[in-house]
Amino acid sequence: MITIKEIASQLGMSTTTVSNVIHGKTREVSPATIERVQKFLKEVDYVPNINARNLALQRSKMVGVVLKAPEDKYVSALADPFVSVMLSSIEKTLRGAGYYMMVYISDDIAEILKNIASWNVDGLILFYMLDDDASRVSAKFSKPIVCIDAYYQEDIGDFYVVGLDDENAAYHATRYLIENGHTRIGYLCDGNEITSVNYQRFHGYRRALKDAGLEYSDRCLFLVRPEKEELLKSLGKICDKAGNVTAVFCMSDLYAKMLICALTDRGIRVPDDVSVIGFDDNLYAQLSRPGLTTVHQDVEKRGTVATQTLLNIIAGNPPAERRIEMKSELVIRDTVCRAN
């Protein structure tokens, strides 16, 4: 790794001149010198030391992508298709703009904050933060923040959100089930409580029930545990309670697929005995047979929008609204049939 200093010394000139040529500040350098330097640079294959540059410039050309996720999930954070597609799109956009992506995963906000500060990243993309988490981060981190899947509440912090029309999506999916004659409709999600995105979707689900004059019952709320050792077990328990409902609306394609497998393996037919709707419409939903009826969202685009929004804020052009909302769409395939 040759340094500017070394180059300057070998060429018998000052580091300033070399640096100027490297950065194209050529209006103050003689053509002959430019020529000489550029030739030499090619020759020795000069590459700048990013750490030194970051130190000098007080910025990093790095964007931190932070996933708040527990360690022991059945499907680890990065392996989740929603996350991986999003990440892929973020990385692509970032790279196209000359930025680097630093991924950090933790369940501990304090630890996350420490790392962010350490690396001096220029901006942050946050996944899966609850409102409170995002606020805590934004209180400590004064640079631009964009959240995926968080609900911005007035005065709660300085960050932007690129979200989905979750409430509406759930409303329409549920209504579709109701239109097909279902009256006892399950809602399946993970965790112990209904937060953030789930809250919105759950709300949409309940609104649809209410609008149709149906009563919500706790017996229709299916909570699965996402942990490695628990997920399958808790899905099994849900299968035992499948008689409570004729249809289930799941918060992800993965859970929908897993539920279908669990039901099928127990001799409960989908959709004949139980109808199922998923969420996301990822590649594997598209490849499953019978085709999964699900809510489609364009994750790739959402990643691009989120990243572009962040880059814009960094560049000093924040969007007008705190929250940007992408549209989803119900995709009707073969896992919902008329209730008997």
Where along the sequence are the contacts to a second copy (CB under 8 A)? Answer: 1, 47-52, 54-55, 60, 71, 75-81, 83-85, 87-89, 91-92, 95, 100-106, 114, 117-120, 254, 257-258, 260-261, 264, 283-284, 287-289
Mind giving me the DSSP string for 263-305? HHHTT--TTTT-EEEEEE--HHHHT-SSPPPEEE--HHHHHHH
| Binding segment (CB under 7 A) for DNA, from list 54-62, 130-138, 305-313, 315-323 | 54-62
Length of the chain (residues): 340
Residue 312 is inside which H or E element, if any?
helix 299-314
Query: Tokens 């959240």 identify what position?
Result: 147
User: Is residue 115 part of the contact set for DNA (CB under 7 A)?
Assistant: no
d(CA 185, CA 181): 10
What minimum distance in Å lies between the beta carbon of 45 and DNA? Answer: 12
Where does the chain show beta strands of DSSP type E?
62-68, 100-106, 123-127, 145-148, 160-164, 185-190, 221-224, 247-250, 275-280, 294-296, 323-326, 329-331
User: Is residue 56 part of the contact set for DNA (CB under 7 A)?
Assistant: yes
In sequence order, the 6+-apart residues with CB closer than 8 A to the CB of 207 are 167, 171
What minimum distance in Å lies between the beta carbon of 13 and DNA? Answer: 3
Q: Which does 332 bind (CB under 5 to 8 A by kind): DNA, a second copy, none?
A: none
User: What does the longest C-alpha to C-alpha distance in the chain come to?
Assistant: 88
- Report the residue from 39, 43, 44, 53 that binds DNA according to the rule CB under 7 A: 53
**How many C-beta neighbours within 10 Å does residue 204 have?**
23
What minimum distance in Å lies between the beta carbon of 18 and DNA? Answer: 8
Nearer to DNA, 18 or 185 (CB): 18
Q: Which does 252 bind (CB under 5 to 8 A by kind): a second copy, DNA, none?
A: none
Nearer to a second copy, 220 or 231 (CB): 231
| Beta-sheet pairing, 329-331 with 294-296 | antiparallel
SS3 187: strand
User: Quick one: DSSP state of residue 78?
Assistant: G
Site string for DNA, 3-42 (x = CB under 7 A): xxx------xxxxxx-xx-xx---xxxx-xx---------
Quickly count helices (H) and strands (E) in the chain. Answer: 13, 12
User: Quick one: DSSP state of residue 213?
Assistant: T
Q: Which does 28 bind (CB under 5 to 8 A by kind): a second copy, DNA, none?
A: DNA
What minimum distance in Å lies between the beta carbon of 58 and a second copy? Answer: 9
Nearer to a second copy, 287 or 320 (CB): 287
Nearer to a second copy, 117 or 332 (CB): 117
Q: Which does 32 bind (CB under 5 to 8 A by kind): a second copy, DNA, none?
A: DNA
**Whether the Cβ atoms of residue 337 and residue 272 lie closer than 8 Å to each other:** yes
| Residues engaged in binding DNA (CB under 7 A) | 1, 3-5, 12-17, 19-20, 22-23, 27-30, 32-33, 47-49, 52-53, 55-58
